[in-house]
Amino acid sequence: MVAFFKFILFRSSILSQQSFSSLSLNSDLLSNLESLGYHEMTEIQAQSLPVILDGKDIIAQGKTGSGKTATFGLGLLQKLDVKRFRVQTLILCPTRELADQVGKEIRRLARSIHNIKVLTLCGGMPFGPQIGSLEHGAHIIVGTPGRIEDHLRKGTLNLDNVETLVLDEADRMLDMGFQDAIDNIIEQAPKERQTLLFSATFPEQIESIAGRILTNPVTIKVESTHDDQMINQYFYKVSNHEDRMLALRLLLLHYQPESSVVFCNTKREVQEVNDELVNRGFGSIALHGDLEQKDRDQALIRFANKSATILVATDVATRGLDIDNLSAVFNFHIAHDQEVHVHRIGRTGRAGNKGLAFSFYNQKDANRIIALEDYLDRTISEDALPSESVLDMLPPQSTMITIRIEGGKKQKIRPGDIVGALTADSGITFEQIGKIQVSANWSYIAVQREVIKVAFKKLSEGKLKGRKFRVMVVRG
């Protein structure tokens, strides 16, 4: 670590006692936090927020789910001047999914601030409407580096008034090859600004970029540990790809997790593993960088609404994935980095729920296993796989199935319209309807598997907003 970085260390027992009311936040923000149920600060919030509110640059390291979005969100909202209708904050994220998630959280945190405008600018979306939105002005921009760079190049975005620059999931932005785009963006931002860098891991590239773009930063590290009482870790020794696939099938059939993520190290491997699971009858979907945006969106929606039980993905593709109650995590290969391993398994065992983490390794992984033992401060021994008799079982089916409607917000469709159409004249109860997501020109609805035929008939033969829309059942 370069010498000018400062470190702040806190004891968790002290941090757990700190409330948001102990901070110098304005009363509107505090009352909104209270209404959202945000009372006690997480560790990263307690360490970072006082530093951010003091106007200093920071490098904060913490895993997904640590509360970092609210950390920088509250900091930038506290200093925002709503009367100055200029772009005052720019937040860069590696993926559209994470940018959307961050934008939604900022809007929630800003509910008590009138006339604030948060704009999300990401690739995979039409360029024209984004230009129109920018012409109407915004206070906060959340976006992916490539699309932000496009707007700067075309002159449709001006960063002259940016006071706060946030790099969220900085390690993954570098992994995805955004180094040049980030450099170009920073070159057009004011030199006098506050820069907040958040990263789950801390590779050498982060040290390099931090040294160039931050001024006397305070470094805050929240240990990426997991709770042994909430996450049960298992390790299985395998010899080849066939052994890994067999182990994966045995564990999926034995434990039958409601939702699980299988982490692979390459895009090619993701597709191979997913294809084999699908051929074996599992409700699996793939997520990697080569998918078209529509397919990425659809995969994430199906997994989030429990229409698919297994998501096979790379680390980069899952950044920003906001899934409640993930039952299990599989490491098809041991992660290259110990912090990445802990980051992966930290997606299960949340919110008081028990989690399962399964990792496959072979003789070539000996050094990684030793490093992981040191990092986790535990001995890793080979666990026994379930009996092959479970192969006679049928893979469990998802509890939900997704329906797509070719109409959305632009056609004035609202979630209430869809619920009304489904529950009218009986046949489907409110409890049999799952998550509903309405976008500009389409809508996705999850319904319980046993009522899919009734739901499809109601939506395809009935009307929404006085007109019929094309409806289809989304399958793998």
Does residue 7 register a pLDDT over 90? no
Percentage of the chain surpassing pLDDT 90?
57
Does residue 17 register a pLDDT over 80? no
Average pLDDT, the chain: 87
Q: How confident is the model at residue 315 (pLDDT cuts 50, 70, 90)?
A: confident
pLDDT at 224: 52
Instruction: Specify the higher pLDDT residue, 423 or 192.
Output: 192
Q: Which residues of 443-464 are buried (b: 16+ CB within 10 A; e: fewer)?
A: bbbbbbeebbeebbebbeeeeb
Most confident of 151-165, 193-207, 409-423, 433-447: 151-165
In which residue ranges of the chain is CATH 3.40.50.300 found?
A: 6-221, 231-392
* Non-local CB neighbours of 236 within 8 Å, separated by 6+ positions: 247, 358, 359, 360, 361, 382, 383, 385
pLDDT at 235: 96
pLDDT at 189: 95
The answer to whether residues 135 and 167 touch, using CB atoms and an 8 Å cutoff, is no
Mean pLDDT of 264-287: 94
In which residue ranges of the chain is CATH 3.30.70.330 found?
A: 400-474
- CA distance to 421, 456, 472, per residue, from 453 (Å): 14, 5, 11
pLDDT at 9: 34
Q: What is the pLDDT of residues 361-384, one digit of tens each?
A: 999 999 999 999 998 888 999 999
Does residue 250 register a pLDDT over 90? yes
Q: How confident is the model at residue 63 (pLDDT cuts 50, 70, 90)?
A: low
Q: What is the pLDDT of residues 148-164, one digit of tens each?
A: 999 999 999 999 999 99
Mean pLDDT of 278-301: 89
Mean pLDDT of 106-130: 91
Its pTM stands at 0.63
Q: Which two tokens stand for residue 72?
A: 């920088």
* Number of C-beta neighbours around residue 158 at 10 A: 13
Q: Which residues of 345-375 are buried (b: 16+ CB within 10 A; e: fewer)?
A: bbbbbbeeeebbbbbbbbeebeebbeebeee
Q: What is the pLDDT of residues 208-239, one digit of tens each?
A: 888 889 999 999 987 654 455 678 899 999 99
pLDDT at 227: 53
Question: How far is residue 185 CA from its own chain's centroid?
Answer: 23
Q: How confident is the model at residue 176 (pLDDT cuts 50, 70, 90)?
A: low
Q: How confident is the model at residue 458 (pLDDT cuts 50, 70, 90)?
A: very high
pLDDT at 431: 85
pLDDT at 1: 36
pLDDT at 398: 93
Does residue 29 register a pLDDT over 60? yes
In whole angstroms, give the CA distance from residue 409 to residue 440: 5
Q: What is the pLDDT of residues 318-356, one digit of tens each?
A: 765 666 568 999 999 998 888 888 878 877 876 567 889
In whole angstroms, give the CA distance from residue 31 to residue 70: 15
pLDDT at 74: 95
Q: Please give the class, per CATH, of domain 6-221.
A: alpha beta
Instruction: Specify the higher pLDDT residue, 179 or 166.
Output: 166
pLDDT at 338: 84
Mean pLDDT of 125-154: 93
Mean pLDDT of 265-279: 93
Specify the CATH number of the domain 400-474. 3.30.70.330
pLDDT at 10: 35
Q: Which CATH superfamily is domain 231-392 in?
A: P-loop containing nucleotide triphosphate hydrolases (3.40.50.300)
Axis crossing angle, helix 145-154 with helix 179-187, rounded to the nearest 10 = 40
Does residue 101 register a pLDDT over 70? yes
